[in-house]
Amino acid sequence: MRKIKKLGLFDKPTRIEFLKSVTAHLNGPKIYIKRDDLIGEALGGNKVRKLEYLLADALAKNADVIITTGGPQSNHCRITAGICAKIGLKCALVIGGAGKYEYEGNLLLDRIFGAEVVFSGTRDFDAVPAIMEKIAEEFRAKGRRPYIIPLGGANGIGALGYLEAYLEIQEQMKSAKIRLSAIAVANGSGGTQAGLETGKLLSGGDAEIIGISVLFKKAKISDIVFKDIYETLDVLKISGKKPGGINVFDEYIGKGYAIPAPLTLEAIKLMGRKEGIVLDPVYTGKAFGGLIDLIQRNKFSKKDNILFIHTGGYPGMVNMKAEHVSAIVK
């Protein structure tokens, strides 16, 4: 790991806090939270960890334009745009979706950070790689050197960020003398969970890694996570290691990506009112809502220690529909 280039963008480790009031309220396992939402860069979140590796790779390959993709409220696009602005790379974003979008939240931030925004005009994310390749070709024709980052930064290089986070967590828990039973995290494009799984595969530990999908059904996201684990092992030039099973829950997606479910809103209220911590409606609210449900269905005992990784995402809050806002404020 130490030999692999990365940008040093923030102070590590991010802190871990005990959620005393939420734990008391749920009357189940002890719940801890890792504050990756407090990573400062470009308003922070999990994607900074991935981009430390991806953008270092782009610079090592002498790229001068970064092309990536996400939905209109993509945290990944916002953070890519922000870090590109800081390190002096041009950034072009292919924003997926068929609607007409207002410049607000993350989409506004993309433009504040100076990224070029191209709308794909389709909800079909499988169509986007070809659009990114076409844009890359246009840049090459102008003598530029594009580097394409896939949706969510999910590949073997991006996943290194959460392999590193896994090692960080192990150190932190060891010095706090706490044995974790589970690490829970939102799963969107799979790279964060893949990094954690690779960390566990390589350095051990018995905490169960629980991904709570906010986007893809279990079969699809499991394939993606496995693919990313193997890619990460390839990047590290490690052979002969085989991942075991992975644990992804897809029953909390609700009506679809970025549509908050009742549990999502409950989680946002609970964390806000008991801990003064903001969860977002797309990723962390949905994931923590799933964790609340697992606790209420007695998946864990009172002796267990659970770590929830807060992966950021506040700017997505701006996009909430009136009915969801009123479920919180009423």
Ligand X SMILES: Cc1ncc(COP(=O)(O)O)c(C=O)c1O
Write the DSSP string, 87-98: HT-EEEEEE--S
The yes or no reply on residue 305 touching ligand X (CB under 6 A) is no
The yes or no reply on residue 146 touching ligand X (CB under 6 A) is no
| 68 strand-pairing partners | 93
The yes or no reply on residue 45 touching ligand X (CB under 6 A) is yes
- Lookup: tokens for 284: 């962390």
In the complex with ligand X, the residue whose CB is nearer, 201 or 309, is 309
In the complex with ligand X, the residue whose CB is nearer, 207 or 215, is 215
| DSSP, res 295 | H
| 227 strand-pairing partners | none
Query: Among residues 21, 74, 181, 326, which one is catalytic?
Result: 74
Cα separation, 87 vs 55, in Å, equals 9
Write the DSSP string, 285-305: HHHHHHHHHHHHTTSS-TT-E
Cα separation, 168 vs 35, in Å, equals 12
73 CB-contact burial (10 Å; exposed 0-12 / middle 13-18 / buried 19+):
buried
Q: Where in 149-178 is the site for ligand X (CB under 6 A)?
A: 152, 154
In the complex with ligand X, the residue whose CB is nearer, 131 or 159, is 159
The yes or no reply on residue 46 touching ligand X (CB under 6 A) is yes
The yes or no reply on residue 75 touching ligand X (CB under 6 A) is yes
In the complex with ligand X, the residue whose CB is nearer, 139 or 155, is 155
Ranges assigned E (strand) in the chain? 16-18, 30-35, 65-70, 90-95, 116-119, 146-148, 182-187, 208-213, 247-249, 305-310
Cα separation, 209 vs 183, in Å, equals 5
The yes or no reply on residue 105 touching ligand X (CB under 6 A) is no
Task: Kindly state the smallest distance separating residue 27's Cβ from ligand X, in Å.
Answer: 27
Task: Kindly state the smallest distance separating residue 271's Cβ from ligand X, in Å.
Answer: 14
The yes or no reply on residue 188 touching ligand X (CB under 6 A) is yes
Residue 74 appears among annotated catalytic residues: yes
- Lookup: tokens for 133: 């390749």
- The correct pick among 191, 199, 260, 290 for binding ligand X (CB under 6 A) is 191
- The correct pick among 189, 198, 232, 305 for binding ligand X (CB under 6 A) is 189
The yes or no reply on residue 312 touching ligand X (CB under 6 A) is yes
Taking contact as CB under 6 A, which single stretch among the options 12-20, 134-142, 190-198, 299-307 is the one that binds ligand X?
Answer: 190-198
Residues annotated as catalytic (active site), given as ranges: 74
Binding site for ligand X (CB under 6 A): 45-46, 75-76, 152, 154, 186-192, 280, 283-284, 311-313
